[in-house]
C-alpha cells in the first residue's frame, strides 16, 4: 500500500485571486472528438437503464491477431482521456472502443448516485456483451485508475468474449492512499469562468502535461453551472472509494490470459504484486516521467505498449 499513489497527479492549484498571474503559454481552445476518433455514438443498454457515450476508431478486422481494445477511464475523467492514445493506434490492425462511465461525460442513466464497483462493473460488462457478443476480434480490456479496478473485475467475470489480455494503468490496491484524495479535491476549483480557464488551469496546475490532451479531455469533464463546473462530483463518490480498490491486486492476478500493469514507478507495487512480479505472473511496464494520467502524458509510448501485445504474443 503506497501513501503517494495520487502524488503524481500533481498539486492542483485554486483558480482564485491568490493564484499567481501566470498561464500556460499556448493554445487553449477546445479540440473536437472527431480529430481523434472515427465515430461518436450513444448506445442504450436497457438492462442498465443507461445510455453510454462511445467513441471508436478502426473497424473489426476478424484477421488472425486482430484486436479490439476496450478502454476504461479513471474517476472524473471521460473516454476522451484516451483520445491522443487512440489516434496513435489508428493505423494498426485493431479497433479501439472507449466509453464514458455512469455519471461521467455524456453518458446518462436513471441512477447517477450509485458508483459502487458492482454497478460500474455490471455496466461495463453488459455494454461489452451487447456490443461484442459475436465479435471475431480478440479483446484486450484496458483501464486507468478507477477504470483499472473495473477492468480487472470485468475480466475476472468470465463474461468478456474472446478476452486475451487485461491491462491496468497506474492503479494498485490503494486503500492507504485514499486519504490524500481529500487534499486534491479541496484544492481544485469548483467553477471556471470559461473553458479556456479550465484548460489553462489543468496545465498550469500540473494535472496534465500535454496541452493537446487537455484541450480534448477537459471540456468533456465540464458542464454549464455558474460558468462551468465538473460533470462528476468526485467528493460525492467517497463512499465508494474503498470498494473500488479492495482486493484489486488479488482480482487482477486471478484474471486469465495475459496480464499487464503499467505504472509511473515501482514504488507503487504492494506486497502481493511485488511477489507476483518476481514470480513472472504479470508483465510490468514503467513510465517514470509521467504523472497519474499516463495515457495523456505520454500517449505515443502508451499506444506502443498496447500495440506491442499484437507483435509479441501469439494468441
φ and ψ of 167, to 5 deg: -125, 125
Average pLDDT over residues 281-297: 92
Predicted confidence band at 129 (pLDDT cuts at 50, 70, 90)? very high
Question: What average pLDDT does the chain have?
Answer: 88
Burial 286-311, CB ≥16 within 10 A → b, else e = ebeebbbbbbbbbbebbbebbbebbe
Cell of 184: 486534491
Burial 175-193, CB ≥16 within 10 A → b, else e = bebbebbeebbeebbbebe
First CA to last CA distance, the chain: 33
Q: Domains (ranges, CATH) in the chain?
A: 7-312 (3.40.50.1820)
Spatial distance between the Cα atoms of 85 and 52, rounded to a whole number of angstroms: 21
Rg value, the chain, Cα: 18
**Active centre residues (catalytic):** 145, 170, 292
The answer to whether residue 7 scores a pLDDT higher than 50 is no
The answer to whether residue 1 scores a pLDDT higher than 50 is no
User: How do residues 91-121 score in pLDDT, each as one tens digit?
Assistant: 888 999 999 999 999 999 999 999 999 999 9
Spatial distance between the Cα atoms of 258 and 262, rounded to a whole number of angstroms: 13
Predicted confidence band at 6 (pLDDT cuts at 50, 70, 90)? very low
User: How do residues 173-187 score in pLDDT, each as one tens digit?
Assistant: 445 566 778 888 888
The answer to whether residues 61 and 93 touch, using CB atoms and an 8 Å cutoff, is yes
Which residue's C-alpha cell is 495515457? 295
Residue-level pLDDT at 175: 53
Residue-level pLDDT at 27: 81
Q: pTM to 2 decimals?
A: 0.90
Amino acid at each position: 500500500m503506497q501513501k503517494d499513489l495520487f502524488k503524481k497527479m500533481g498539486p492542483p492549484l485554486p483558480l482564485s485571486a491568490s493564484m499567481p498571474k501566470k498561464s500556460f503559454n499556448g493554445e487553449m481552445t477546445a479540440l473536437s472528438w472527431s480529430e481523434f476518433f472515427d465515430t461518436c455514438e450513444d448506445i442504450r443498454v436497457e438492462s442498465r437503464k443507461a445510455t453510454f457515450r462511445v467513441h471508436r476508431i478502426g473497424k473489426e478486422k476478424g484477421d488472425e491477431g486482430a484486436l479490439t481494445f476496450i478502454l476504461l477511464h479513471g474517476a472524473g475523467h471521460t473516454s476522451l482521456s484516451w483520445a491522443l492514445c487512440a489516434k496513435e493506434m489508428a493505423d494498426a490492425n485493431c479497433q479501439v472502443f472507449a466509453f464514458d462511465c455512469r455519471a461521467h461525460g455524456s453518458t446518462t442513466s436513471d441512477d447517477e448516485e450509485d458508483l459502487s464497483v458492482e454497478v460500474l462493473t455490471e455496466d461495463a460488462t453488459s455494454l461489452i456483451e451487447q456490443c461484442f457478443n459475436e465479435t471475431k476480434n480478440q479483446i484486450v480490456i484496458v483501464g486507468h485508475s478507477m477504470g483499472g479496478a473495473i477492468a480487472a473485475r470485468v475480466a475476472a467475470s468470465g463474461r468478456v468474449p474472446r478476452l486475451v489480455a487485461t491491462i491496468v494503468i497506474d492503479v494498485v490496491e490503494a486503500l492507504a492512499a485514499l486519504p490524500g484524495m481529500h487534499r486534491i479535491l479541496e484544492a481544485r476549483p469548483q467553477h471556471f469562468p470559461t473553458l479556456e480557464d479550465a484548460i489553462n488551469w489543468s496545465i498550469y496546475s500540473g494535472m496534465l502535461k500535454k496541452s493537446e490532451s487537455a484541450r480534448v479531455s477537459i471540456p468533456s469533464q465540464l458542464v454549464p453551472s455558474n460558468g462551468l463546473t465538473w460533470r462528476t462530483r468526485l467528493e460525492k463518490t467517497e463512499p465508494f472509494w474503498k470498494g473500488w480498490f479492495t482486493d484489486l491486486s488479488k482480482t487482477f492476478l486471478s484474471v486469465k490470459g495475459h496480464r499487464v500493469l503499467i505504472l509511473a514507478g515501482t514504488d507503487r507495487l504492494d506486497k502481493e504484486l511485488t511477489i507476483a512480479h518476481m514470480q513472472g505472473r504479470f508483465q510490468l511496464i514503467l513510465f517514470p516521467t509521467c504523472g497519474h494520467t499516463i495515457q495523456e502524458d505520454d500517449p505515443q509510448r502508451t499506444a506502443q505498449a498496447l500495440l506491442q501485445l499484437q507483435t509479441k504474443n501469439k494468441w
